[in-house]
Structure 1
Amino acid sequence: MSSYTVLLVEDSEFITEHVSETLATEHGFDVKTVGSAAETRAMLEEEIIDCVISSYELPDETGIELASSINDDAGSMPIPFVLFTANPLEPLSEKALEAGVSAFVRKNTQASGQMNVFANRVRLAIEAAR
């Protein structure tokens, strides 16, 4: 299995630790972490990232706003973007898709248990973009 580098954007230390450790140890991802949209943009300038996984609620903007801005900056090759949220998906889905969100994962079902579905969605989003 090839190792993909993902950037987890999450301001909760507990969720960041759990998700990044699980994605790395159980699913073979190389996981970088940041806590804000501003830190995400800085990281994307420094590192090659295969996929951004972002919480919807960030301290400085929403995950949808972040997806829109980084995909506008990416030019012809948008970065796969997985929105990781506890919010209901239906009201967010149209704007999220327009912003370039590739997939959605509910926090309340994935953050505390097995993350096979989560990891698979991330992997599929990366592979679909290639």
Structure 2
Amino acid sequence: MSPYTLLLVEDSEFITQHVSQTLESKHGFEIETVPTATGTRDALEDGSFDCVISSYELPDETGIDLAASINGRTGSPAVPFILFTGNPLESLAEEALTSGVSAFVSKSSHATGDMNVFANRIRLTIQAHE
């Protein structure tokens, strides 16, 4: 089985480096990174990804707005989309789910260490979409 290819959308260089290195070296994912929603759309036009993982707060729009622009507001998402946020999830959940977000991951509890829970959430989200 070939590794899953992920698009990580995060404007923090520190978080981008830590998350991408850990998911590649410890979990075998292939990672491409972009810092903005605009960069995400460009990357999706140029390549194929098994999943998009996006920060909620981006320089040019929110991760929820990005999910809606990629996956639309109805039907099954075209690409699995994980919202990666430090914000409380409860206040975002309803809008996020209707905007094409497939799953949520908390930055505070899952962006440290070996990220086993984060990697598992990614795999499960992709497999549910297949």
Superposition TM-score tier, normalisation by shorter sequence: over 0.9
Structure 1 residue 117 displacement after superposition: 0.6
In 1, Cα distance between equivalents of 2:83 and 2:121 = 11
The residue number in structure 2 matching 1:8 is 8
The residue number in structure 2 matching 1:35 is 35
Structure 1 residue 101 displacement after superposition: 0.8
**RMSD between aligned alpha carbons?**
1.6
The residue number in structure 2 matching 1:110 is 110
Instruction: Show structure 2 runs of 5+ residues with no match.
Output: none
Count of residue correspondences:
129
In 2, Cα distance between equivalents of 1:86 and 1:127 = 25
Matched, 1:123 2:123: yes
Secondary structure of the residue aligned to 1:58 is coil
TM score, norm. by length of structure 2: 0.94
Secondary structure of the residue aligned to 2:92 is helix
In 1, Cα distance between equivalents of 2:92 and 2:16 = 22
In 1, Cα distance between equivalents of 2:56 and 2:126 = 19
Matched, 1:67 2:84: no
Secondary structure of the residue aligned to 2:79 is coil
Contact 2:84 / 2:105 at 8 angstroms: preserved in 1? yes
1:27-84 residue CA offsets vs partner (Å, 9 max, x unmatched) = 01000000000000000000101100000000000000000100129x8761000000
Contact 2:6 / 2:51 at 8 angstroms: preserved in 1? yes
- Displaced runs of 4 or more, over 4 A: none
